Amino acid sequence: MAASSRFSNKTAIAGGGAARDPQRETQGLYPISVVTELTGLGAYTLRGYERAGLLQPARTAGGMRLYSPRDVTLVRRAATLAAEGANLTAIRRILALEAQVSALRAKLKDSCARGEQVPRGRSLCAMGP
């Protein structure tokens, strides 16, 4: 079976769509050949992103890289930023800031669910993301 027919539903394979399992999101599932198919990037670029510290794919006992759905998402975001003119240093910083914003939003959502308030009595939920 040809690679293009095996991976024609790229969104489903990369974890898009259905509810996500947090553990599966970070589990190494895809070899580099599949990730190149999913993202349209070459293996050399993927290894370069790894060298630059943008991602750390899991490794098999034999040393083969296995990329998680989260890695695929990061690679796609990095490629978008690169296409917009960002260099690797900027991409690394943008991805780190986006991760911080995401973590703060999750914390805010959790605090809102518990009904917490800031010292002046304003609801954290009123501040919004």
**58 neighbors 66 (Cβ within 8 angstroms):** yes
Candidates 104, 49, 44, 102; CA nearest to 71 is: 49
Each residue's pLDDT expressed in tens, for the chain with a length of 129 residues: 444 444 444 444 444 444 456 556 667 789 999 999 999 999 999 999 999 999 999 998 999 999 999 999 999 999 999 999 999 999 999 999 999 999 999 988 888 888 776 666 556 566 555
Beta-carbon contacts of 81 under 8 Å, excluding residues fewer than 6 positions away, are: 90, 91, 94, 95
Name residue 37's amino acid. Answer: E
Please give the CATH architecture assigned to the domain spanning 22-113.
Answer: Orthogonal Bundle (1.10)
The answer to whether 75 and 33 are in contact (CB under 8 A) is no
Contacts of 35 (CB under 8 A, 6+ apart): 41, 46, 67, 71, 72, 75
Q: How far apart are CA 36 and CA 48, in angstroms?
A: 13
Residue 11, amino acid: T
How do the domains of the chain map onto residue ranges?
22-113
